[in-house]
Chains A and B, each alone.
Chain A
Amino acid sequence: MKKKILLLLCSFAVIYLVNFTIPRLMPGDPFDYQSAAAGEESSTEMTEELKEYLRSYYGLDKPFFSQLWENIKNNLRGDLGYSIHYKRAVSELLMERLPWTAFIMLGALLLSLVLGTALALLGLRRKKADGCLYALFSLLGELPHFLAGILLLFLVAARVDWIPLSGAVTAFGIYYSEWDWVKDVLLHALMPLAALTLVTVPSFYFTARASFLSILEKPYILSARAKGLGEGRIRFHYIFRNALPPIVARFFLSVGSAIGGTMLIENVFAYPGMGTVMREAVKYRDYPLIQGVFLLSTVLVLLSLLAADLINAANDRRRGASL
Chain B
Amino acid sequence: MAPLLDVRELSVSYPGFSLHPLSFSLDRGEILAVVGESGSGKTTLLKGLACLTEEGTEVSGQVLLEGRELLGMKEEQRRQLRMRSFAVAFQNSSAWLNPGMTLREQLKEVLHRGYPPREIPGRMRELMETVGLNPEDLGRYPRELSGGMAQRFLLATAIALEPGLVLLDEPTSSLDVAARDAFAALVQRLNREKGIAFIIITHDMKLAQLLSSRIMVLYNGHVEELGSTGDILDYPRHPYTRGLINASMGLNIVRDVWGIRPAVPVERGHHGCPFYGRCTQSLPLCAHQAPELKDWGDGRLIACNRGGIVTLLEGRGICKSYGRQRVLNGVDLSIRSGEVAALVGRSGSGKTTLAQILGGYLEDYEQGGLLFEGKAADMDALHRRERGVQMVFQDSETSLNPHMTVLQAAAEPRLLAKLGMEEERARRALADVGLPSDEDFLKKKIKTLSGGQKQRLSIARALTMAPAVLLADEPSSMLDPSSKANLLRLLKSLQNSHGFSMLLVTHDLESALKVADRCYLLKEGRLQELRISDYVSSSIDGVFVD
B143 & A226 in contact (Cβ 8 Å cutoff): no
Q: Is A220 located at the chain interface by the 8 A CB criterion?
A: yes
Q: Which residues of A contact B93 (CB under 8 A)?
A: 219, 322
Residue of B81, B100, B109 ringed by the most chain A CB atoms within 10 A: B100
Q: Is A139 located at the chain interface by the 8 A CB criterion?
A: no
Write the chain B residue with the least CB distance to A241.
Answer: B100
A219 to B98, CA, bound (A): 9
Q: Which residues of A contact B83 (CB under 8 A)?
A: 227-228
Q: Is B95 located at the chain interface by the 8 A CB criterion?
A: yes
Q: Is A224 located at the chain interface by the 8 A CB criterion?
A: yes
Q: Within the complex, what minimum Cβ distance (angstroms) separates A228 from chain B?
A: 3
Known: A219-B95, A228-B83, A241-B100. A318 touches B109 (CB 8 A): no
Q: Which residues of B contact A225 (CB under 8 A)?
A: 52
Q: Is B290 located at the chain interface by the 8 A CB criterion?
A: no
A222 & B90 in contact (Cβ 8 Å cutoff): yes
Among candidates B79, B100, B110, B157, residue contacting A318 with C-beta atoms closer than 8 Å: B100
Q: Which residues of B contact A320 (CB under 8 A)?
A: 143
Q: Which residues of A contact B82 (CB under 8 A)?
A: 226-228
Q: Which residues of B contact A218 (CB under 8 A)?
A: 95
Interface bits A306-323 vs B (CB < 8 Å: 1, else 0)? 000000000001111111
Known: A321-B142, A322-B142. A220 touches B87 (CB 8 A): no
Write the chain A residue with the least CB distance to B91.
Answer: A219
User: Which residues in chain B, 69-85, are within 8 Å of chain A measured between CB atoms?
Assistant: 78-84
Q: How many residues of A contact B (CB 8 A)?
A: 24
Residue of A218, A220, A222, A323 ringed by the most chain B CB atoms within 10 A: A220
A223 & B97 in contact (Cβ 8 Å cutoff): yes
What total count of A-B pairs have CB within 8 Å?
74
Q: Which residues of A contact B468 (CB under 8 A)?
A: none
Q: Is A183 located at the chain interface by the 8 A CB criterion?
A: no
A237 to B99, CA, bound (A): 10
Q: Within the complex, what minimum Cβ distance (angstroms) separates A315 from chain B?
A: 9
Q: Is B365 located at the chain interface by the 8 A CB criterion?
A: no
Known: A219-B93, A228-B79, A228-B83. A319 touches B99 (CB 8 A): yes
Interface bits A174-202 vs B (CB < 8 Å: 1, else 0)? 00000000000000000000000000000
User: Which residues in chain A, 267-323, are within 8 Å of chain B measured between CB atoms?
Assistant: 317-323
A321 to B149, CA, bound (A): 13
B99 & A223 in contact (Cβ 8 Å cutoff): no
A220 & B99 in contact (Cβ 8 Å cutoff): yes
A323 to B96, CA, bound (A): 10
Q: Which residues of A contact B98 (CB under 8 A)?
A: 220, 223-224, 237-238, 242
Q: Which residues of B contact A229 (CB under 8 A)?
A: 79, 109
Write the chain A residue with the least CB distance to B143.
Answer: A321
A226 & B95 in contact (Cβ 8 Å cutoff): no
Q: Is B144 located at the chain interface by the 8 A CB criterion?
A: yes
Q: Which residues of A contact B90 (CB under 8 A)?
A: 219, 222-223, 226
Known: A228-B113, A233-B109. A220 touches B143 (CB 8 A): no
Q: Is B301 located at the chain interface by the 8 A CB criterion?
A: no
Q: Within the complex, what minimum Cβ distance (angstroms) separates A97 from chain B?
A: 40
A318 to B144, CA, bound (A): 9
Q: Which residues of A contact B258 (CB under 8 A)?
A: none
B109 & A220 in contact (Cβ 8 Å cutoff): no
Q: Within the complex, what minimum Cβ distance (angstroms) separates A251 from chain B?
A: 19
Q: Within the complex, what minimum Cβ distance (angstroms) separates B71 from chain A?
A: 15
Interface bits A199-222 vs B (CB < 8 Å: 1, else 0)? 000000000000000000011101
Q: Within the complex, what minimum Cβ distance (angstroms) separates B75 from chain A?
A: 9
Q: Within the complex, what minimum Cβ distance (angstroms) separates A99 from chain B?
A: 35
A317 to B141, CA, bound (A): 11
Q: Within the complex, what minimum Cβ distance (angstroms) separates A10 from chain B?
A: 32
B50 & A322 in contact (Cβ 8 Å cutoff): no
Q: Within the complex, what minimum Cβ distance (angstroms) separates B166 from chain A?
A: 11
Write the chain A residue with the least CB distance to B88.
Answer: A226
Q: Is B101 located at the chain interface by the 8 A CB criterion?
A: yes
B143 & A322 in contact (Cβ 8 Å cutoff): yes
A242 to B143, CA, bound (A): 14
B52 & A226 in contact (Cβ 8 Å cutoff): yes
B143 & A319 in contact (Cβ 8 Å cutoff): yes
Q: Which residues of A contact B81 (CB under 8 A)?
A: 228
Q: Within the complex, what minimum Cβ distance (angstroms) separates A55 from chain B?
A: 61
Q: Within the complex, what minimum Cβ distance (angstroms) separates B95 from chain A?
A: 5
B110 & A220 in contact (Cβ 8 Å cutoff): no
Q: Is B337 located at the chain interface by the 8 A CB criterion?
A: no
Q: Which residues of A contact B79 (CB under 8 A)?
A: 228-230
User: Which residues in chain B, 431-483, are within 8 Å of chain A measured between CB atoms?
Assistant: none
B143 & A228 in contact (Cβ 8 Å cutoff): no
Q: Within the complex, what minimum Cβ distance (angstroms) separates A286 from chain B?
A: 50
A226 & B109 in contact (Cβ 8 Å cutoff): no
Q: Which residues of B contact A237 (CB under 8 A)?
A: 98, 100-101, 109
Q: Which residues of B contact A219 (CB under 8 A)?
A: 90, 93, 95-96
Write the chain B residue with the least CB distance to A222.
Answer: B52
B100 & A226 in contact (Cβ 8 Å cutoff): no
Q: Is B94 located at the chain interface by the 8 A CB criterion?
A: yes
Q: Which residues of A contact B50 (CB under 8 A)?
A: 226
Q: Which residues of B contact A223 (CB under 8 A)?
A: 88, 90, 96-98, 154
Write the chain B residue with the least CB distance to A240.
Answer: B100
Known: A226-B87, A227-B109, A233-B109. A322 touches B97 (CB 8 A): yes
A219 to B95, CA, bound (A): 6
Q: Within the complex, what minimum Cβ distance (angstroms) separates A168 from chain B?
A: 41
Could you list which residues of chain B lie within 8 angstroms of chain A, going by C-beta atoms?
50, 52, 78-84, 87-88, 90, 93-101, 109-110, 113, 141-144, 154, 157
Top 10 A-B pairs, shortest CB-CB distance = A321-B143, A228-B82, A228-B79, A226-B88, A219-B95, A219-B96, A322-B94, A223-B96, A220-B98, A322-B143
17 contacts between A and B (CB under 8 A): A220-B98, A220-B99, A222-B90, A223-B88, A223-B96, A224-B98, A227-B82, A227-B83, A227-B109, A228-B82, A228-B84, A230-B79, A237-B101, A318-B100, A320-B143, A321-B142, A322-B95
Beyond A223-B90, A228-B113, 15 additional contacts (C-beta under 8 Å) are: A219-B93, A220-B95, A220-B97, A220-B99, A226-B50, A226-B82, A227-B82, A228-B79, A237-B100, A238-B98, A317-B143, A318-B100, A320-B143, A322-B95, A322-B142
Could you list which residues of chain A lie within 8 angstroms of chain B, going by C-beta atoms?
218-220, 222-230, 233, 237-238, 241-242, 317-323
